């Protein structure tokens, strides 16, 4: 069960890595709501990693669900901002991926995360033997992957916005 949690965290980390492809390959800088969605995804991964480090507990799944709910709320906010097409303006924010915008994909991923965490909570037997176990090499890799992603996000956000609130439609880095 710890491996399933680690794999879930790795999957969420890979989604955030995909967002970096948009940022550095397509040169689409993230808006403030996009950053909050990244934060929600890494927060959900954090809840799953707590299961890996401190043993399987319902409270850790609750942390993942709370983060995913926050991320879903942010995604819905961004979907609603762009849901009505305006004449003469491009529809949505950023380049669509397989027909949907990135924030719509983020909303779907948050919903899948909530459902997956709820399904994992159904298995009561996992909580009987809840104790702290040493991290395997795979767990260590996932932990460092998520830590490096969080630190990289802190750095790129600093480069983009400095310590001030980020602009709504960023076009260039503030510090570079």
Partner 1 sequence: MMVLLFVILTFALLFARKGNYTFAVAGFFLLLILSICWLIYHITDRININL
Tokens of 4: 């399933």
Size of the site for partner 1 (CB under 8 A): 38
- Of the residues 86, 165, 171, 175, which one makes contact with partner 1 according to CB under 8 A: 165
Can residue 154 be called a binding residue for partner 1 (CB under 8 A)? yes
CB of 141 to partner 1, least distance (A): 12
φ, ψ (nearest 5 deg) of residue 131: -145, 165
- Of the residues 163, 169, 171, 172, which one makes contact with partner 1 according to CB under 8 A: 163
CB of 116 to partner 1, least distance (A): 19
> Which residue(s) pair with 97 in the sheet?
100
Q: Say if CB 71 and CB 37 are below 8 A apart.
A: yes
> Which residue(s) pair with 100 in the sheet?
97
DSSP code of residue 172: S
Residues numbered 16 to 75 that lie near partner 1 (CB under 8 A) are 32-33, 35-36, 39-40, 42-43, 46-47, 49-50, 53-54, 63, 66-67, 70, 73-74
- Cα angle value 83/85/88 (rounded, 5°): 150
Can residue 143 be called a binding residue for partner 1 (CB under 8 A)? yes
Residues in CB range of 25: below 8 A, 6 or more apart: none
- Of the residues 132, 169, 172, 175, which one makes contact with partner 1 according to CB under 8 A: 132
- Of the residues 15, 56, 65, 161, which one makes contact with partner 1 according to CB under 8 A: 161
Residues numbered 74 to 113 that lie near partner 1 (CB under 8 A) are 74, 77
Q: Say if CB 63 and CB 87 are below 8 A apart.
A: no
CA distances from 94 to 25, 34, 39, 59, 67 (A): 13, 11, 19, 36, 24
Binding interface with partner 1 (CB under 8 A): 32-33, 35-36, 39-40, 42-43, 46-47, 49-50, 53-54, 63, 66-67, 70, 73-74, 77, 132, 135, 143, 146-147, 150-151, 153-154, 157-158, 161-166
């Amino acid at each position: 069960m710890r491996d399933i949690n680690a794999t879930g965290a790795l999957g969420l980390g890979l989604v955030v890595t995909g967002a970096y492809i948009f940022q550095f390959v397509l040169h689409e800088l993230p808006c403030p709501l996009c950053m909050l969605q990244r934060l929600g995804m890494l927060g959900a991964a954090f809840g799953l990693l707590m299961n890996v480090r401190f043993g399987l507990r319902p409270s850790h799944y609750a942390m993942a669900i709370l983060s995913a709910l926050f991320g879903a709320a942010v995604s819905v906010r961004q979907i609603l901002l762009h849901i009505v097409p305006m004449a003469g303006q491009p529809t949505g924010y950023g380049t669509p991926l397989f027909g949907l915008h990135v924030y719509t994909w983020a909303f779907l991923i948050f919903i899948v995360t909530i459902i997956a965490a709820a399904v994992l909570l159904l298995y009561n037997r996992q909580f009987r033997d809840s104790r702290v176990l040493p991290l395997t090499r795979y767990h260590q890799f996932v932990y460092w992957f998520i830590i490096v992603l969080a630190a990289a996000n802190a750095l790129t956000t600093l480069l983009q916005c400095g310590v001030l609130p980020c602009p709504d439609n960023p076009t260039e880095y503030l510090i570079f």
